[in-house]
Structure 1
Amino acid sequence: MSIKVLHTSDVEQQRTAIAGWEQHYAQMSAGRFQGRITHAELGGVVAYEERMNTRVEQFFQAPANALVFSFDMSGNTLYLLDSQSRNTWITPENYREVAVVIDLERLGMRCASEALEGLSLTPLKSPQAQLFGSWLSNLLGRLITSTDALQPANLAAQLVEDCLFVLECSLPNENRRQQQRLTLSRQIVNRVCELSNAYPEDNFTTLQLAQAAGVSIRQLQQAFIQYNGLAPSAWLRMRRLNAAHRDLQQASPAHTTVAEIAMRRSFWHLGRFAESYRKLFNEQPNYTLQRRP
């Protein structure tokens, strides 16, 4: 058994803290980012807890050859993911998730997609999901200080058994029509995010995003507000601010300026850019540039 705890001060540190996931993170609410990952390896089973204080956009693809039981502690909701699960969403502030990642061989499966038909990425609620999520969070807290009293093999088997039991007890928490609308919104948002991630240097307009998703601007707005709680224009601005943040972290003060980076990301009014940047990241852009690692 191995366990580690990582405290992070940037979404990029948070993004890379858990191996095996294809992920893109962007900060979506104001404040200095603080995160924490507690990660336990149990041999064929991984358990972890993720905490983040600001809203964060997560684009992710789950690990290959694994089934993931993800417990959103803010909504007391279970989500199932497999290697085919690709999703983009924006977490609430002070987000907390605990998860169990189970190797498919341990479950006697080669592919989980057929078994998860209609369940992957569907919000599942039950009292058992809430109780198990809280128990797993407390367990990881205890493991940080002592692992002597726990046998990794027994603990891994218990986690597998408990996760499957919680799944049996859980049902979708939305009626069919609501779930269909949410699924459609997620598909629209995911198409847009995949385009943005494929061309990170391009500054898209709302019209271009709507065309790429094959919907009207109104449908795009409705999908983003329903699924992310942000209008597409606000989402685009947040993405450009995060891109400028990464540029400033990687640039050399001797070879570039804040103005050059701001204009690269289509911020033409330097004063407004600096103010928006300060509100989101709780520091001036020139400070980020000067404290380059």
Structure 2
Amino acid sequence: MAPASSCHATSMAFDAPFVGNTHQIRTVEAFDADEHAHNLTDWEQSYDQITRGRFHGTLAELQLPQMQVFRECTSQAVRQSCCVWPDAFWFGLPEQSDQTRINGRLAGAHAIMVRPGDCEFELVTPPDYAIYGIVIRRNALLQAAELSGSRIDWAQLACAEVIHVDNNSRTSLLQTLAGLLQNDGGCTDPDLRQQVLLNTLLALLDTSAVDGAVSSSFQRRQRIVAKARDLVLAHHDQAITVPKLCEQLFVSRRTLQYCFEDVLGMSPMQYLRLIRLNGARRHLRQASAKSLTVQDVAADWGFWHFSQFSSDYRKLFGQSPSQSMLTKTH
């Protein structure tokens, strides 16, 4: 896995966005974090549940001629690996929380997150979370800015993760998004809807300020965390310990602890267990089709003490491993 902030050297295999688009609001719910990740149209995503309890996610999505608009809600804290289609910009507006991390950085209460398409990024979101998202084709945004006379530093925007905006403009954009995602009998013309949203977004970007670039020391901490995740996933049948990670990454235990706390807000040990438990859950949800047992899957993810695995699994996901095998979601 590449560091979460890196752009792909080659384009990912996305379907053509918006095929068969009816410009109607689509709503869907899920009771598994990774299933929820795949409900968002034309994104490449993977979610790991972090906090304990049954997961519930809802999504309201609207596809316009050159844009995708959505509101996503998640009941549990989640680590998200995300990537949208090429030649686009994503803008993320959390409703209230100031605890969102994008590529390890706290976004802040009144900021807006932004990433270009075909560029993997990581979010860590808290429990009971709601976020509005806008994905717009790059050319459509450029043309609209030119017509309106907006002055936007596109090179800087393409490299940004967090932009600071006027709070009144941010509130106005949130209200516009909420209105678009309500079936209240209002305007249904897709082109007019898109123009209203474009005007509101450009007014906000015209007065925004991009947060400064991250320091080289923080980038190093990001790389260490990404390498640790790669090692765990590459050897998921082994219970890799923190001392083993330190040895493989050539860092001290104190440095590793600091990197994880600074980038993810959790300890290395907690993160390693979460990654393996979430990996086992994905595997279990496919296990019945492959004639695997719960014990097979547990061993494949380095859990040799089955009773402890079962207990930890139930605490995190709110159901037993065997119940996950019986869950049919697709």
Give the structure-1-normalised TM-score: 0.83
Contact 1:262-1:268 at 8 Å conserved across structures: yes
Aligned length: 285
Distance 1:170 1:209 in 2: 41
Is 1:161 the counterpart of 2:199? The answer is: yes
Tell me the SS of whatever aligns to 2:155.
coil
- Provide, for residues 55-84 of structure 1, a one-character-per-residue CA deviation record: whole Å limited to 9, x for no partner: 111011232110111112223430111025
Percent of matched pairs sharing the same residue:
24
Structure 2 segments unaligned to the other structure (5+ residues): 1-22, 99-109, 144-151
The residue type paired with residue 138 of structure 1 is A
Change (3 A) 1:99 1:210: farther
Alignment of 1:46-195 (within 5 A): 46-73=68-95, 74-75=97-98, 76-83=110-117, 85-108=119-142, 115-116=155-156, 120-122=160-162, 124-128=164-168, 130-142=170-182, 144-146=183-185, 149-171=187-209, 179-180=214-215, 185-193=221-229
Deviation at residue 23 of structure 1 after TM alignment: 1.4
Residue segments in structure 1 that go unaligned for 5+ positions in a row? none
Please report how far the alpha carbon of residue 85 of structure 1 lies from its aligned counterpart in structure 2 after TM superposition.
Answer: 3.3
Partner of 2:310: 274
- Provide the residue aligned with 1:218 in structure 2: 254
Distance (Å, rounded) in 2 between the aligned partners of 1:163 and 1:271:
52
- Could you say what secondary structure the match of 2:92 adopts? strand
Kindly indicate whether the alpha-carbon contact (under 8 Å) linking 1:68 and 1:102 is maintained by their aligned counterparts in 2.
yes
Contact 1:248 1:292 in 2 (8 A): no
- What is the CA distance between 1:95 and its match in structure 2? 1.4
Distance 2:254 2:304 in 1: 27
**CA offsets 1:108-155 (integer angstroms, 9 cap, x no match):** 37xx9962358521253531354035314421442x343x52422122
Report the equivalent of 2:300. 264
Give the Cα–Cα distance (whole angstroms) in 2 for the partners of residues 225 and 129 of structure 1: 33
8 A Cα contact 1:3 1:40, kept in partner: yes
RMSD value over aligned CA atoms? 3.1
**CA 1:195–1:63: 2 relative to 1, 3 Å:** farther
Q: Which residue of 1 aligns with 2:104?
A: none
How far apart, CA to CA, are the structure 1 residues paired with 2:296 and 2:29?
32
TM-score computed with the length of structure 2 as normaliser: 0.75
Q: Which amino acid aligns with 2:321?
A: P
Q: Distance in 1 between matches of 2:293 and 2:200?
A: 54
Report the equivalent of 1:34. 56
